[in-house]
Chains A and B, each alone.
Chain A
């Protein structure tokens, strides 16, 4: 599936505030950095990309179709295409880590739990947190929570991923580790688009981006 995302002078209204104009475009295989000056822009973009509200100015186009004109089927397809790794949408605290990882697919596809468990466990192993599979999220460190949310994203196999300020408060070792995993996942699909946000370019020095946009 070819992926093309294009934002032109996009101003999003969220929580009583409006973002500055955001303009960028993504082709298949792009890895894009968004340097966002405020946490509000992250939340607004996440809310926009997940819930597709009509309250925005400018243009937001996916595969040639304006977001405002999406039909129910388009919205459904978009939901299958897009996923995010952000602490704004955390793990569910009364589910174990492995249950959190396969919950969206378990719900969406009514698949057999045993098969999903195996796949989820393998993903947790790839990320190095398989020993925490049976624990509740409250017992994980912040970095482990990020990795568990990443496992949840990987389980969904999306074409467009939004990494919302994931390098914040991480030391260099953890930043390098996470960057490596992001690049590995990005390379798994030729048409995959990765959008990585941060407060400064300094946080993103481990990754080589096609585009760097400042908002």
Chain B
């Protein structure tokens, strides 16, 4: 019984990942088969998707950045007061906030906000026959619908995570100044002295990885809908849960990778 349970889990996990990797390979193939066909049409669609995924999320990004900045920085400061001073705060901020918390947190926000929308939208397109309609019009759906969403999402998540990190660090510096009388110069000096190329690379890699994984998973589940509109909410839930899983998995994998590199 344990063996069959293990087999089942193995199949579920690896089978699911295999399907997603195959889907990614198909997307890359379709891109090279079709590019630069429909360049202007695709560009318009990418900009539209960046507006929905990125620009419309700006208000939320700012709010979360402010809250995260105040909470994390002041909590760190109060915890390690006297242990290592401002330099230690800078190091912990880089590791905790910029390398770990912000990319993961923004990915989770975007999964909830945009991931469900992508799955539902593509599901409806599939059920309504719009995907077949695109094919009939000579437009490759994977290239036009899926690739554009992945590209736009990656650009959006990178941009809004950078903005959120900037806002968090800035509000954190204000909070430290107000509550712990740490000057802005000391704070930013400590922050930049403790930031290395590995941190920037890890930050970038995480955002790119999350930016590809989330729409990949959501598009996959959206296009998997076969029976009808009743399947859409079920697939949206599966897409969200799967996206969480792969985001956390990629987070761990990338942390290990940079750790080995360092």
In the bound complex, CA of A91 to CA of B136 (Å): 12
Of B124, B135, B138, the residue contacting A93 (CB under 8 A) is B124
In the bound complex, CA of A79 to CA of B39 (Å): 19
In whole Å, how far is A202's beta carbon from the nearest beta carbon of chain B? 27
Give B25-43 as 1s and 0s: 1 = Cβ < 8 Å from A's Cβ atoms.
0000000000011111100
Q: Does chain A have a CB within 8 A of B200?
A: no
Chain B residues near A91: list those with CB within 8 A. Answer: 130, 133
Task: Say whether A94 contacts B133, CB under 8 Å.
Answer: no
Of A79, A89, A107, the residue contacting B133 (CB under 8 A) is A89
Contact residues of B between 126 and 179, Cβ < 8 Å to A:
128-130, 132-139, 144
In the bound complex, CA of A89 to CA of B131 (Å): 9
Chain B residues near A189: list those with CB within 8 A. Answer: none
Give B111-130 as 1s and 0s: 1 = Cβ < 8 Å from A's Cβ atoms.
00000000001001100111
Task: Say whether B136 contacts A50, CB under 8 Å.
Answer: yes
Task: Say whether A103 contacts B41, CB under 8 Å.
Answer: yes
Chain B residue nearest to A87 in the complex (CB): B129
Q: Does chain A have a CB within 8 A of B44?
A: yes
In the bound complex, CA of A10 to CA of B48 (Å): 44
Task: Say whether A50 contacts B135, CB under 8 Å.
Answer: yes
Task: Say whether A89 contacts B38, CB under 8 Å.
Answer: no
Chain A residues near B137: list those with CB within 8 A. Answer: 89, 103-104, 107, 152
In whole Å, how far is A118's beta carbon from the nearest beta carbon of chain B? 16
Q: Does chain B have a CB within 8 A of A131?
A: no
Task: Say whether B125 contacts A93, CB under 8 Å.
Answer: yes
Query: Given A89-B129, A93-B125, A93-B128, A107 and B37 touching (CB < 8 A)?
Result: yes
In whole Å, how far is A53's beta carbon from the nearest beta carbon of chain B? 12
Task: Say whether A84 contacts B136, CB under 8 Å.
Answer: yes
Contact residues of A between 25 and 70, Cβ < 8 Å to B:
46, 50-51
In whole Å, how far is B232's beta carbon from the nearest beta carbon of chain A? 14
Give A82-99 as 1s and 0s: 1 = Cβ < 8 Å from B's Cβ atoms.
001000111111100000
In the bound complex, CA of A106 to CA of B137 (Å): 11
In the bound complex, CA of A129 to CA of B136 (Å): 24
Total cross-chain contacts (CB, 8 A): 59
Give A145-166 as 1s and 0s: 1 = Cβ < 8 Å from B's Cβ atoms.
0000000100000000000000
Chain B residues near A71: list those with CB within 8 A. Answer: none
Contact residues of A between 131 and 184, Cβ < 8 Å to B:
152
Task: Say whether B37 contacts A90, CB under 8 Å.
Answer: no
Query: Given A106-B38, A106-B41, A107-B38, A51 and B135 touching (CB < 8 A)?
Result: yes
Of A84, A90, A110, A112, the residue contacting B130 (CB under 8 A) is A90
In the bound complex, CA of A110 to CA of B42 (Å): 10
- Residues of A in contact, count (CB < 8 Å): 22
Q: Does chain B have a CB within 8 A of A8?
A: no
- Chain A CB count within 10 A is highest, among B36, B134, B136, B139, for B136
Task: Say whether B121 contacts A108, CB under 8 Å.
Answer: no
Task: Say whether B39 contacts A110, CB under 8 Å.
Answer: yes
Task: Say whether A94 contacts B39, CB under 8 Å.
Answer: no
Of A51, A88, A93, A110, the residue contacting B40 (CB under 8 A) is A110
Task: Say whether B130 contacts A107, CB under 8 Å.
Answer: no
In the bound complex, CA of A84 to CA of B129 (Å): 14
Chain A residue nearest to B130 in the complex (CB): A92
In the bound complex, CA of A110 to CA of B44 (Å): 12
Chain B residues near A89: list those with CB within 8 A. Answer: 129, 132-133, 136-137
Chain A residues near B135: list those with CB within 8 A. Answer: 50-51
In the bound complex, CA of A89 to CA of B137 (Å): 9
Chain B residues near A190: list those with CB within 8 A. Answer: none
Q: Does chain B have a CB within 8 A of A113?
A: yes
Of B36, B41, B129, the residue contacting A90 (CB under 8 A) is B129
In whole Å, how far is B219's beta carbon from the nearest beta carbon of chain A? 14
18 further A-B contacts with Cβ under 8 Å, apart from A110-B36, A113-B44, are A50-B135, A84-B136, A90-B130, A92-B125, A93-B124, A103-B41, A103-B139, A104-B139, A106-B40, A106-B41, A107-B37, A107-B139, A107-B144, A108-B138, A110-B38, A111-B40, A113-B40, A152-B137
